[in-house]
């Protein structure tokens, strides 16, 4: 196993332990035994437990950005329709967390309140969600798909907060996550923002 593979193996084992046991209950010795390596091997790649945890959060952030950078095929209905394009992005995010519940648990539960360094990493993730939502809305306004009077700050924060809350509920607290219909969940999420909740005219 080369250095890159060994580092990934250690991170994969650490991720599972952090997600299942929590940050404080997971020790370097636990990671060492799970990875089947000598203690010194871990210190060849990481300074300490904090470094391992921060690396996991950084990797999560990069993987999520790669997922969100995907766009539908330009000839597809998902690309031509503003609402369907929005659903495509939302669905990708839900699938990202559904495919890796350990990441979901670490980001949305385990990492909260661990101190300034980790708080900064989590805040960066939340900030990027809001910025991506804002950029999407701005593009929709330019393309005349979204009402130009939309309060971008308000709506982008609503979308970002709702997205992380739903990922937490269905990825962390929901026991029957394997039964969740991601397509239907994404549809309902988008419809709530696209069409509102009231039937009467103001």
Domains of the chain from N-terminus onward: 1-46 (1.10.10.60), 50-195 (1.10.357.10)
Q: What is the C-alpha to C-alpha distance for residues 48 and 52, in angstroms, rounded to an integer?
A: 7
Full-model pTM? 0.79
Enumerate residue ranges in the chain where pLDDT < 70: 174-178, 196-202
**Three-state secondary structure of 16-63:** HHHHHHCCCCCCHHHHHHHHCCCHHHHHHHCCCHHHHHHHHHHHHHHH
For position 192, what pLDDT does the model report? 86
For position 169, what pLDDT does the model report? 80
| 71 CB neighbour count, 10 Å cutoff | 13
The owner of tokens 């495509």 is: 88
Q: What is the C-alpha to C-alpha distance for residues 7 and 3, in angstroms, rounded to an integer?
A: 6
For position 202, what pLDDT does the model report? 47
- 191 neighbors 92 (Cβ within 8 angstroms): no
For position 4, what pLDDT does the model report? 92
For position 56, what pLDDT does the model report? 92
């Amino acid at each position: 196993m080369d250095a890159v593979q060994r580092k990934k193996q250690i991170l994969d084992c650490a991720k599972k332990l952090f997600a299942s046991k929590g940050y404080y209950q997971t020790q370097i010795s636990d990671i060492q035994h799970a990875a089947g390596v000598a203690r010194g091997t871990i210190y060849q790649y990481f300074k300490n437990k904090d470094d391992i945890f921060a690396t996991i959060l950084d990797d999560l952030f990069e993987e999520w950005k790669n997922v969100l950078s995907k766009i539908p095929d330009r000839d597809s209905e998902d690309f031509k329709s503003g609402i369907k394009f929005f659903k495509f992005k939302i669905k990708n995010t839900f699938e990202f967390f559904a495919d890796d519940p350990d990441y979901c648990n670490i980001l949305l539960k385990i990492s909260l309140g661990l101190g300034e360094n980790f708080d900064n990493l989590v805040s960066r993730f939340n900030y990027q969600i809001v910025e991506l939502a804002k950029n999407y809305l701005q593009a929709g306004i330019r393309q005349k798909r979204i009402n130009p009077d939309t309060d971008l700050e308000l709506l982008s924060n609503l979308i970002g907060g709702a997205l992380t809350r739903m990922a937490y509920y269905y990825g962390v607290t929901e026991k029957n996550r394997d039964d969740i219909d991601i397509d239907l969940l994404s549809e309902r999420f988008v419809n709530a923002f696209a069409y509102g909740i009231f039937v009467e005219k103001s």
